[in-house]
Amino acid sequence: MKLLATPPALLLLAALACPLSAQKVGQPDGPPDDPGRPGGYNGPGDTVDPSTGGTGGTGGDPGPVTGTDPSTPIPGSTTPASPYAEGANPFARPNIPGLGATDAEPPPITPASRPRVESPNSWKLWWHYNRWDHLAAVPTLSESGAGGFYMGRGETAEVSPLLRASQAQIRDVVQPALIRAIRRGGRPELQIYAIQALAKLRDVMPDPKLGGFADVVRIPLSSGNQEVAEKAVLALGIRGEDRYASWLTAILKDEPLGRDLVGRQRIGVRLRAFAAYGLGLLGERTHSPEVRALIYDSLKTALWVDRVEVQSAALTALGMTPMPLDNEFVGESELFTGRTRVDQILEMLSFFGDADQSYVARSQAPTAIARLLQGAPESLRARAGYTFLASVGRSSKELREVQNACVIALGNIGRSGGDPLDEQILKHLSEVAYRSSAHRSTRFLSMVSVAEAAARRGTGDEPYPSLQRIRKLLLTNLSRSRGETQAWTALGLGVLEETAPQRGEVAAPASGRMLRQLFTRTRSGEVAGAIAIALGMMRDQESQELLRTRMRETGEEFVRGYTALALGMIGNPAAIEDLSQVLTESTQKPFVVENVAIALALLGDQGIGQRLFEILEDSSRPTIQASVASAMGWIKDPRPLTELCKRLLDPRKGEMGRAWTAVAIGRICDQDRWPWLARMSTDAQYDVWLPTLIEPQLQNGLLDLP
C-alpha cells in the first residue's frame, strides 16, 4: 500500500474509516448485571446461559443467570456514557444494585496490590504496571559478570555469580511439594498460587507416582470455587505447552471438552475471558504454525460475537500472538492464507473503528495493535497512527479511556525522525500534554508517551532529530510545574534519558542536574518518589548520596521504597550495605521490603536470601509473610528451597502463610528472567473498569496476581 504524501490526507482517510461517536458504548451485553457494562459487574462469580442451568458462582452453587448464547451476535444499541464523571475516582467500585454494600473493608495491602493513592491520576499506578519494562532495561551484575561492573572510578564489583535452582532441585524437591499441596487443597489463595508455581516448572520430568501437570491441573480446573477455576485456566497458558491450546480453545468456545474440563454445564464469561488470556500467553511462546493459527482463529471469532470481558481479553491475547509476515511462512502459505500479520492488524483496526462496540473493549485495541506493528509494513503503521491521532485531542469525541489507550499506543509506535507521521505524533502528544484541556490522565500519559517516541530511533540520516526539542519541552515544564504535573514530567524525562546507552551516549547533564535540584527542594512525597525513579532510569551516578540520605531519613514508606529502588537501578554495588540495612529495619513495611529486594536483585546480591527466610519463619502476620515471600522471589536464592517446600506442606504455618510460600517457590524457580505478569501489565489500560484484568477492591483480576 502506497502512503499518501500529505499527512492531513491520511488523517482524513483514517477519520472516515473510523467514524467517531459521542459515546462509543453500543453493543449492550445482556441485562444490567452483565460484567461488560458500566456499573454492571456482578462480583467474582461467573455467568451462565439460562437455557441450560449449569453451575457458576462459587462453591458449586448455581451462578447468576444472564445473557444469551455467546455464539449469537448481539445487536447494537445505546448504553450510558462512561460511568466516570470528571473528577471522580475511576477505580472505585460502582454501586451495583443487588450486590450488597460496596464499602466493605478491602483485602490487605500486599506486594501484589496496586498502590492505594489519593488521586486516580497518580504516577504510582502507571509505574506499578509498567515498572517491569523499565527494570528490564537495567544492566544487572549477573549479565556483566562477577567483577566486570563499572562503578564510575574504575572499581569493579566483587559479587559472586548468581545462584539458580537446579533441575535436580526442581524435579526432586519442588515439584513433589507443589503437587502434594494442590492435591491436599485448602483455601483458594493456596490452591491458586501453588498451581501457578507448578505451571512455571517447564521441561521437568513428571513423577509417575504423583502425576504430571496435565493430571494435577484438572483438580483446580473443575473446582467449585470460581476464582480457583479461572486461575487454573490461566495456568494452562502460563505452562505454555502446545497441547493445552485445544483445552483453552474449548473453554473459550464453551465446547463439550471445555465444559468437561471445568466441570460446568455452561462456561461463563469470566472463565472464557481467562481462557483467552491463557491463549495469549501460549501464543507468545509457541513455535507451532498450526497452534498459532488455531489460537488466532479462536480469538478472532470471540472478538466479534462474545461479551465485552471476552472481547477485551481476546484483543490482549491477539496482541501477544503475532501472525507471520508475508516473508515468514514459506511452505505454510495455505495455512496462513487470510491469517497474516496484515490481516490480523486490519481486523483489529476494523474492530476499533466500529462505533457499535463497547468503549471498554475498544480501549484494549490500540496497545494490542501497537505490539504487532514491529516489523509490519510501514503503510500499516501509518494507518494505525493516523487513526489513533484522530481519536485523541480537542476535536475527538472519544471517551477518556479510549483516548488514553491511543496516547499509550502513539508512544509505542512513534519515532524520532523526519517522517511526517512521527512529526505529527510528537507535535500532537506535546500539545495534549502541556497545551490542551484534555483530561488530566490523558495529559499525564502524553508526557510519558512523547518521551518514549522521541527517544526511539528514526529512519532518516539523523536518527534522533527530535530528541533535543522534546528534552527542552520537558525541562521547561519541569521547572514551571508543581504537584502531579511535575511528578509526571520528571517521569517523562527519565523515560527520555533512559535509552541514552543505546544511543552510545550518557544522559544529558542538564536533565540530571535539574532533577537533583528539585529532589533536594521538594517536600512532596509524591514528587520526590517520581524524581527518584527518574534518576534511577537515567542511571544518574551523582544522585546516589542524595538518594541514600533520603532513604535513611524519610518517614514516608513510599519515598523510602522508591529511593531504594532507584539506587538499585543506578547499579552501584556500594549501595548494597545500606539497602541490606534498610531491609532489616523495614520488615513491617511490605512496600519497602519488596522494592529493596528488587534493588538488591538488580545489584546481583543474594546474601540476604537466608535472612529473609528467617524473617518469614518468625512472622505470623500474612502481610509480612507476603512481602518477605515476594522479596525472596526477587532475590531468587535457591538455598532455602528445601525449607520452603517443608513449610509449604506444614499445616502449622497457616494456609495464607503457606500460600505466600508457594509464591516464593514459584518465583525462585521461574525460568523466565521476568515473570509472565510483566509482559501483560506493560501498557495495560489500568483506568478501565475491566474486572477480569484489574479489580482494585476484590483483587481477583489477572493483574492482581502476585
At residue 137's C-alpha, the angle toward residues 402 and 489, to 5°, is 50
Residue extents of the structural domains in the chain? 242-376
Q: Indicate the pLDDT class of residue 161, thresholds 50, 70 and 90.
A: low
Residues 6+ apart with CB under 8 A from 575: 544, 548, 567, 568, 599, 603
Residues 6+ apart with CB under 8 A from 497: 455, 471, 507, 508, 511, 512, 537, 538
At residue 99's C-alpha, the angle toward residues 95 and 105, to 5°, is 75
Q: Indicate the pLDDT class of residue 171, thresholds 50, 70 and 90.
A: very high
End-to-end C-alpha distance for the chain, whole angstroms? 44
Q: Indicate the pLDDT class of residue 608, thresholds 50, 70 and 90.
A: confident
Beta bridge partners of 65: 48
What per-residue confidence (pLDDT) applies to 675? 86
Q: Indicate the pLDDT class of residue 115, thresholds 50, 70 and 90.
A: confident
- Gap between the Cα atoms of 490 and 494, Å rounded: 6
Residues 6+ apart with CB under 8 A from 522: 528, 531
Grid coordinates of 427: 507535535
Residues 6+ apart with CB under 8 A from 8: none
Residues 156-184, mean pLDDT to the nearest whole number: 84
Structural Rg of the chain based on CA atoms:
25
Grid coordinates of 46: 461467573
The pTM for the full model equals 0.84
Grid coordinates of 34: 452483565
Inter-residue contact 457 to 432 (CB < 8 Å): no
Percentages of the chain per state (helix, strand, coil), in multiples of 5: 55, 0, 40
For 148, phi then psi, to 5°, come to -110, 20
The model's pLDDT over 80-106, given as tens digits with 9 standing for 90+, comes to: 333 333 333 433 444 433 323 334 455
- Gap between the Cα atoms of 232 and 225, Å rounded: 11
For 551, phi then psi, to 5°, come to -60, -40
CA atoms within 13 A on the CB side of 271: 40
Beta bridge partners of 207: 211
The model's pLDDT over 398-415, given as tens digits with 9 standing for 90+, comes to: 999 999 999 999 999 999
- 266 or 418, which is more confident: 266
What per-residue confidence (pLDDT) applies to 697? 84
Q: Indicate the pLDDT class of residue 162, thresholds 50, 70 and 90.
A: confident
Inter-residue contact 288 to 249 (CB < 8 Å): no
The model's pLDDT over 6-63, given as tens digits with 9 standing for 90+, comes to: 444 444 344 434 433 333 333 333 333 333 333 333 334 454 433 333 333 333 333 3
Q: Amino acid letter at 423?
A: E
Instruction: Give me the residue label for grid cell 458462582.
Output: 57
What per-residue confidence (pLDDT) applies to 671? 82
The DSSP output letter for 163 is: P
Q: Amino acid letter at 457?
A: R
CA atoms within 13 A on the CB side of 174: 32
- Minimum mean pLDDT among 62-76, 213-227, 492-506, 607-621: which range? 62-76
- Gap between the Cα atoms of 181 and 194, Å rounded: 7
- Gap between the Cα atoms of 84 and 579, Å rounded: 41
pLDDT at residue 536 tops 80: yes
Residues 6+ apart with CB under 8 A from 509: none
What per-residue confidence (pLDDT) applies to 89? 41
The model's pLDDT over 193-203, given as tens digits with 9 standing for 90+, comes to: 999 999 999 98
- Minimum mean pLDDT among 353-357, 532-536, 675-679: which range? 675-679
What per-residue confidence (pLDDT) applies to 328? 65
Inter-residue contact 15 to 390 (CB < 8 Å): yes
Cβ neighbours, 10 Å, residue 158: 9
Residues 219-229, mean pLDDT to the nearest whole number: 97
Instruction: Give me the residue label for grid cell 511535575.
Output: 486
The DSSP output letter for 386 is: H
Grid coordinates of 646: 517443608
Provide long-range contacts, Cβ within 8 A and 24+ apart, for 222-225.
222/261, 222/262, 222/263, 223/191, 223/263, 224/55, 224/58, 224/59, 224/60, 224/61, 224/263, 225/58, 225/59, 225/188, 225/191
**Nearest of 31, 689, 84 to residue 697 by alpha carbon:** 689
Cβ neighbours, 10 Å, residue 289: 17
**Nearest of 491, 505, 489 to residue 457 by alpha carbon:** 505
Inter-residue contact 127 to 682 (CB < 8 Å): no
- Gap between the Cα atoms of 364 and 352, Å rounded: 9
CA 591 to chain centre: 18
Residues 224-230, mean pLDDT to the nearest whole number: 96
The model's pLDDT over 294-331, given as tens digits with 9 standing for 90+, comes to: 999 999 999 998 899 999 999 999 999 999 987 666 56
Residues 335-349, mean pLDDT to the nearest whole number: 93
Inter-residue contact 540 to 507 (CB < 8 Å): yes
For 435, phi then psi, to 5°, come to -135, 45
What per-residue confidence (pLDDT) applies to 150? 26
- Gap between the Cα atoms of 1 and 326, Å rounded: 14
What per-residue confidence (pLDDT) applies to 140? 62
Inter-residue contact 130 to 649 (CB < 8 Å): no
Which of the given ranges, 12-16, 36-40, 354-358, 630-634, has the highest pLDDT on average?
354-358
What per-residue confidence (pLDDT) applies to 12? 39
What per-residue confidence (pLDDT) applies to 700? 92
CA atoms within 13 A on the CB side of 552: 11
Burial (0-12, 13-18, 19+ Cβ within 10 Å), 481: middle
Residues 63-68, mean pLDDT to the nearest whole number: 31
- Gap between the Cα atoms of 183 and 454, Å rounded: 52
- Secondary structure class of 259 (helix, strand, coil): helix
Beta bridge partners of 211: 207
